[in-house]
Amino acid sequence: MLVIVAPGQGSQTPGFLAPWLEEPSVRERVDALAAAASLDLVRHGTTSDADTIKDTAVAQPLIVSAGLATLPLVLDGEALPQHVSATAGHSVGEITATAIAGVLTPDDAVGFVRERGLGMAEAAALTPTGMAAVVGGDPEEVAEALERHGLTPANMNGAGQVVAAGTLEQLEALEQDAPRRARVIPLPVAGAFHTHHMQPAADRLTRHAETLRPQDPRIPLLSNADGRVVADGTEVLRRLVAQVAGPVRWDLTMEAFVSMGVTGLIELPPAGTLVGLAKRGMRGVETLALKSPDDLDAAARMVREHGTV
């Protein structure tokens, strides 16, 4: 069984889109999505520096557009239900997965993520906040440390990784008082995503969602709120809005993949983060991070060997 997953914010690096734009079809799709995003995605994906693409209003449309523009090089839309057993995305990557599953059109997905990025950037500007990965340590001691410093476990990523979110002062205090045998690694994001700090963005997205007409997923779509398959398009959209201010349970998503009997996992660009988690949390599953077109031959082989047909 093959699944396709889409990464979240923080996975982007300067120039990551450049090798993909050498493929004419990708360049054409990125140009089209740039109009929906009202952003120069080509520039941001090739020459913009790290600080520029850290901006939430830039990073989120860039990440979603990259995944949607490169997916057809792996499988065209008609072939997806024949070969892909499920899809899911981490945080903003869930919007990519929603479009892969056909709940939203690519243009509607990019329009949605544009509103999400702008709303979260505005919410982040109200109070200086951020996120940090806590890697290792005893889970109970990590949870106690986060609670002690008033931080939220915004992402439960499994494989010994929790992402803490809160004010910059709270995060600095955690770094000075890290749990035993744990590393605290600041993440390149501009706010405390998936916490109460993002409620203004959720309110904005609620209004925007009322203008959309979601379809039911054509392939199983796992929600990163609880790892469950959501079969109703309206419920998918409701969850997309709610996850802005709620935690991401990627640990439960990976557990669900394992329970389904998944044997292969392909991560769309900007790839690497979710494959790293899968190597620790989904042992025995073959993984592939699509870094450049050089990886497409390996992707084609995985489709042949793990696809449902």
Helix (H), strand (E) counts: the chain = 15, 8
Quick: pLDDT tens for 127-141: 899 999 999 989 899
pLDDT of residue 309: 59
The reply to whether omega before 217 is within 30° of 0 (cis) is no
Q: Pick the catalytic residue: 44, 194, 197, 306?
A: 194
Rg of the chain over all Cα atoms, to the nearest angstrom: 18
Nearest 5°: the CA angle 55, 276, 187 is 30
Contact between 10 and 148 under an 8 Å Cβ cutoff? The reply is no
| Dist CA 108 CA 16 (whole Å) | 24
Phi, psi (degrees; rounded to nearest 5) at 163: -105, 120
Quick: pLDDT tens for 242-296: 999 999 999 999 999 999 999 999 999 999 999 999 998 899 999 999 999 999 9
Active site residue 91: yes
Quick: pLDDT tens for 90-106: 999 999 999 999 999 99
Please name each of the domains of the chain with its CATH number.
Answer: 2-125+195-306 (3.40.366.10), 126-186 (3.30.70.250)
Write b or e for each residue in 7-17: b if 16 or more Cβ atoms lie within 10 A of its Cβ, otherwise e: bbbbbbebebb
pLDDT of residue 277: 92
pLDDT of residue 77: 74
CB atoms within 10 A of CB 160: 17
Helix crossing, 233-242 with 199-209: angle to 10°?
150
CA 90, 92, 97, 100 dihedral sign is negative
Contact between 8 and 92 under an 8 Å Cβ cutoff? The reply is yes
Q: What does the DSSP 8-state code read for residue 6?
A: E
Q: Pick the catalytic residue: 91, 149, 223, 306?
A: 91
Active site residue 306: no
| Dist CA 10 CA 237 (whole Å) | 23
Helix H or strand E encompassing 302: helix 296-306
Phi, psi (degrees; rounded to nearest 5) at 110: -70, -35
From first to last of the 309 residues of the chain, give the pLDDT tens digit. Answer: 999 999 998 899 999 999 999 999 999 999 999 999 999 999 999 999 999 998 889 999 999 999 999 999 999 777 888 999 999 999 999 999 999 999 999 999 999 999 999 999 899 888 899 999 999 989 899 999 999 999 999 988 887 889 999 999 999 999 998 898 999 999 878 789 999 999 999 999 999 999 999 999 999 999 999 999 999 999 999 999 999 999 999 999 999 999 999 999 999 999 999 999 999 889 999 999 999 999 999 999 999 999 975
